[in-house]
Amino acid sequence: MHNRQSVVAGIFCALLAWNGAAQAQAKYPVKPVRVLIPFPAAGASDTIGRSLADQLATQLGQPVVVDNRPGAAGRLATEMLVRAEPDGYTLLVGGVGPLAISPAIYKKLPYDVMRDFTAITMAAELINVMVVNPSIGGAGGVPQFIGWAKQQQGKVRYGSSGPGQLDHLAGEFFQKLAGVTMTHVPYKGGGPALVDLISGDIQVMFATYVTAVPHIQGKRLRALAVATAKRQPLLPDLPAIGESVPGFGVSNWNGIFAPAKTPRAVSERLFAEVNKAMLAPELKKRQNAAGIVPAGSGSSAEFVQFIREDIERWKKITRDAGIALE
């Protein structure tokens, strides 16, 4: 009899706990939400995170706090999310670098993208542009650049913000598809690389528009095309590289992630709220000013499939280029 009472009491306690958890999920959020940003303040990821945090705070009725945790090319903050409680109160603005390129080029990572995260939705896409020093012979457009580069017998130098970064791999992808040979010159960030592009030490970059735009407007650099698969309404005068180099196109995407095992009710609420936030005029204005295009997903499953395909795509690009990092 005593054992039976204990079992009944145990079931009752379990039901109470389950009911409490269910109510907490239904009321989500009941406290501030933290958003991890994998890069320093004032960068593109920061712009995405802060504009989204401000809009979500209005929609959710709770503070949404931005927490910049730069390091290891975005992998530091990404790893932090793995260790966070799966309750929807720690989110990550995760990007193509740590979540699609790193799995393609690093033999060991402290996380598994498909196992350790709940992918909520795509949030935004950065526009990368092919920029050149105006003094080079191939500054007239992408076809002219390809013709000029082929005459240089491998002397063309292209800069990047670091080994394994999107602008580095975009250059490798471009070389293969365009049939040109260029030498990669890595820098510690896009800023120093642009300085050398202006001085003529390197000839071309596949830089983020937000970092290059002051130099483009100042006529110190010339933008030839966007690196995205299609033309961008934000930059209507620029063609896509793929119009001259069939098959070329890279997506510098960012999305919102939660830890694995986040309750479905919470992840569904986040999906709805983030996609709603992407439509807010003030958010769009802030992001567009930085060369960022807000972009949601049709569903979380669609976003997961996009990531899976992007990882495979970068694996092929890096394998063809012979790039692998420890």
- Diameter over CA atoms, the chain: 93
| Pair type for strands 64-68 and 33-37 | parallel
User: What gap in Å lies between CA 323 and CA 325, rounded to an integer?
Assistant: 7
For residue 9, what pLDDT band results from cuts at 50, 70 and 90?
A: very low
CA 176 to chain centre: 23
Residues of the chain with CATH 3.40.190.150: 34-126+251-321
Q: What does the DSSP assignment read for 223-284?
A: EEEE-SSS--TTSTTSPBGGGTSTT----EEEEEEEETT--HHHHHHHHHHHHHHTT-HHHH
Give the full edge-to-edge strand order of the sheet including 33-37.
64-68, 33-37, 90-95, 252-259, 117-126, 292-294
- The residue whose two tokens read 């809009």 is 55
Residues of the chain with CATH 3.40.190.10: 128-227
Question: Tokens standing for 226?
Answer: 């966007």
Q: What is the mean pLDDT of residues 156-177?
A: 94
- Comparing 19-23, 77-81, 282-286, 300-304, the range with the smallest average pLDDT is 19-23
- Cα four-point dihedral sign 258, 264, 265, 268: positive
Q: Write down the pLDDT at residue 26.
A: 60
Question: Tokens standing for 23?
Answer: 């109510």
Q: Write down the pLDDT at residue 207.
A: 95
CA distances from 241 to 63, 206, 246, 306 (A): 41, 11, 8, 22
Q: Write down the pLDDT at residue 10.
A: 47
Percent of the chain having pLDDT more than 70?
Answer: 92
Q: Write down the pLDDT at residue 42.
A: 81
- Comparing 48-52, 162-166, 196-200, the range with the smallest average pLDDT is 162-166
User: What gap in Å lies between CA 70 and CA 188, rounded to an integer?
Assistant: 14
Q: What is the mean pLDDT of residues 263-269?
A: 98
Question: Tokens standing for 251?
Answer: 């997506």
For residue 157, what pLDDT band results from cuts at 50, 70 and 90?
A: very high
**Count of H helices and E strands in the chain?**
13, 11
Q: Write down the pLDDT at residue 13.
A: 44
Q: What does the DSSP assignment read for 131-176?
A: EE-TTSTTTT-HHHHHHHHHHTTT-EEEEESSTTSHHHHHHHHHHH
Are 230 and 249 contacting, i.e. CB atoms less than 8 angstroms apart?
A: yes
Percent of the chain having pLDDT more than 90?
Answer: 80
Q: What is the mean pLDDT of residues 102-123?
A: 95
7 pLDDT more than 70: no
Topology (CATH) of 34-126+251-321: D-Maltodextrin-Binding Protein; domain 2 (3.40.190)
CB atoms within 10 A of CB 198: 16
The domain 128-227 belongs to what CATH superfamily?
Periplasmic binding protein-like II (3.40.190.10)
Comparison of pLDDT for 291 and 53, the residue scoring more: 53
E-strand spans in 133-199? Answer: 156-160, 182-186
User: What gap in Å lies between CA 230 and CA 268, rounded to an integer?
Assistant: 30
104 pLDDT more than 80: yes
Nearest C-alpha neighbor of 162 from the set 133, 191, 138, 136: 191
43 pLDDT more than 90: no
150 pLDDT more than 90: yes
- The residue whose two tokens read 């800069």 is 159
- What mean pLDDT value characterizes the chain? 91
For residue 11, what pLDDT band results from cuts at 50, 70 and 90?
A: very low
| Cβ contacts of 61 within 8 Å, gap of 6 or more | none
The phi and psi torsions of 207 (rounded to 5 degrees) equal -85, 160
The upper half-sphere exposure of residue 326, i.e. CA atoms within 13 Å in the direction of its Cβ, equals 0
- Cα four-point dihedral sign 189, 195, 200, 203: positive
- Comparing 34-48, 81-95, 127-141, the range with the smallest average pLDDT is 34-48
User: What gap in Å lies between CA 283 and CA 286, rounded to an integer?
Assistant: 5
Q: What is the mean pLDDT of residues 191-205?
A: 96
319 pLDDT more than 70: yes
For residue 44, what pLDDT band results from cuts at 50, 70 and 90?
A: confident
pLDDT tens profile 231-262: 999 999 999 999 999 999 999 999 999 999 99
Nearest C-alpha neighbor of 89 from the set 116, 118, 46, 121: 118
